[in-house]
Each structure stands twice: as structure tokens, then as C-alpha cells.
Structure 1
Amino acid sequence: MSAFRPFRTARITLALALLAETAAVFAGPAFPRRKDGLWEMRVETSAKGQPMTLQQCADAATDRLLQEQGASRQAEARKPTNCQEDMRSEVGRVLTHKEVCKLPDTTMTRLTVVTGDMNSSYRVSSHTTYAPPRPKQEEGDMTMEAQWKGACPAGMRPGDMVLPGGMKMNVVEMQRMAAPMGAAAAAGRAPSQAEIQRMMGQMQQSMSPEDMRRMAAEMQKAMPAGAGK
């Protein structure tokens, strides 16, 4: 039996969207170069769930591949939408990215600001609004604080990410599996049931049953109280 089977679709969607959005931050086409080594990232959303802490072993080649994957995914997601972007660097702000997308039922505006030092620590803040508001979706916030911890430990190769609960995945492979989720988020829509099931199937093929159980337990902790009921 799949470890995810007890979860309702809304909980699965929220958890996977959170992971996809975090990975997408690194995939921005103008994202600055990070220092090689182990980065620890604490992710928190405006939803009333517990923060998630991740660790990633990064290098130039992995970050470059993530940028290419992210640019391709965003371009695909924007085909049916009318989006405008504005990027600029400012003193004290590493990167400012504003995106406005005219969707069939609303206009989505997302402002992402990255501050700090890519050699030691940085902070990513993202604020998204919908006008007019969607049902139960007027605005949302996501923050991520990252700290460089030193060289990658033995047993971790570039691209490896340790998720809550100790489960390890490769972030490049995660990006590939999460592409439909990220594309849905970029287009301002919820992932379809088929997209969710396809990603879950890919994860089941690449993860052990024990890792699946641990990931399910940690994602449940991160869900807002009452989500998916």
C-alpha cells in the first residue's frame, strides 16, 4: 500500500507544490551563483503548517542545470497565459523579480526578492496576490532562509537533497518529477489529478517504501490544521 494513500488530494497537492516552489526559486534564469557546498534551507508559508528544513549539496553544474530546467518549465507554463516579467538587481537586494499573469478568472501578481550573500546566507521572500480573489485563494507568502554549512559531507553528491525526516533525493531528479506541479503553479492553477498521480508514481519508483513512509509523515506535519478535510 502506498504511504500516500491515507492522504487526501488537497494535502498531497499542497505538500508537492511547496517542494516545487522551493526548487523553482533556484531555477530562475537570473539567480546568482551560489557557493559550492552544503546549504541548509528553512521554508515557511503563510499556511499554518510547520516550517520545513532541507539540506542540499550544491555546485555550479547542478545550479546551472536547475536554471535551464526552470527556464524551460516556466516558458511552457506561460504558453496559455499573458505574463509580464521585470527583473533587476539593487543595492542590498541580490535579485528582485516581479511577474504579472492575466489568467482566465483573475490576475496573478508575484513579487520575489532575494537578499543576502550567496557565499554565506541569503533569504528568499515571495508574495502572491490574486485580483479578483479566487475562492480560498486571495494571497500567499513563502519565505526561505538558507545558510552555507561547509563542504558537502561524505555520502552526498552535488544535487543531493535531504528532506525532513532524513530522506535523500537528488534535486535534479526532483525537478524533473515536479515539473508538472511547478508548471501548474506558474500558470496559477491547481495541478490536475493526473499530474499528481504521475508524480507520485515516479516517486514510488525511485524511493524505498521506508522513505515514502517518512516523507508522508513529515509532509503531514507541514500541512495546515484541517487542510484536505
Structure 2
Amino acid sequence: MEGGIMSNYKLTYFDINGGRAEPLRIGFHIAGIDFEDNRISFPEFAELRSSMPFNAVPVLEIDGVQITQSNAMSRFIGKKAGLYPVDDVQALYCDEVLEAFEDLTHYIVRTFGLQGEELKLAREKLVDGWMSTYLKGLEKLLQRGGGEYYADNQLTMADIRSFVQIRSLCSGSLDHIPVDIVQRVAPGLVEHQARIGSDSRIAGYYATHG
């Protein structure tokens, strides 16, 4: 409810089960908020991007007003879903994890569009460098939170972002990224991903959304 009136939400992102929009979709589901899940193809994005504030997705429209930045959206939806800490320090911990995963995503996205040997070398460098650095660092943040959750001793958007991204890294969907990279470098994150995936709220989302 915005100002006592039910708002209309439209989330635009690629037609994939993953990426920056997946935690937002899960958050809306847990919050029990109806939204338009506008999934677009890559050719459609090429046509639409000039109409978006930063030529990028995801874009969340609230009553027709465009909002960008996936972490800002995560906090907004997280508050509505009870997935964002009220305590300032715990909220800081949650934000730190969201930002770290966003940094890691930027490093991965830089390799998109490369081909052949150039892609292979870039991905190998990424695995040995920033990816390993971030995975190890994120495991330390999980341990700081107690080992089960990153913040607040309960499920937050930080856990959901981690679940989505670690699942992707372990899926084999990225060429030249070993499927066991997370298990080798930060096994605690694999255990966390499995535990979060078994949470009834997360399992419930995938039971209805595939």
C-alpha cells in the first residue's frame, strides 16, 4: 500500500530464472505482493534500452514511475517482505553482502560478449582472481553472521541474493567457470545455498514459478 492505495508493480528483466531480478521476484512472492513479471528477450531489450534511465535492466515501475538499481529494489521489497533488518548494524551487514555480490556480478558481466580463446583466458583470470577473492570474502561475512544467515539471524535479501548467484555459479551455465569453483574456494557458500533453497518460502516460489 502506498499512501493507503494499492500500487501497481511491473518488473522488467530478461526471460531467465536468475540474474539480478530473481531475488526481487522471490521477494515479491514472499511479501505476497502481486506484480507484473515482464520478461523480455535480448532482442527486445535492444529495442527498449533507450527508454530506460541507464539503458539497463532490471527496471521496476511503481504506478508507472521507473526505478533502477537492483540493490535499492532489494531493500524496498525486502522491507515489505520482512526480509530486511530493522537494526541499523544488521541492515549494514545485509547491504554489504548485496553490494559485494553486485561487484562480483560486474566482473562476470565484463566477460560477456567475448568469444573463443579471449573468453577462455578472461574467465580463467577471473576465477583465479576477483571471483576467488569475493567468494572467500563472502564466506567470511557468512561466518560473521553466525554461519547460517548473513545478517539478523534470519532470512534476508542478502541470503536470497547469495542463493541465486551461488546456484548460478554451480550450474555450469558459464563457460570456463568450473562448476566446483565455489565448493573448492568457499564451501560454506554451497552449504548456505542448499539450506536457503530448502526454506519453505524459497521452495514455495519455485514450486509455483518453475
Q: Which structure features the higher share of helix residues?
A: 2
State TM-score, norm by structure 2.
0.31
Q: Which structure features the higher share of strand residues?
A: 1
Higher relative contact order (CA 8 A, sep 6+): 1
State TM-score, norm by structure 1.
0.29
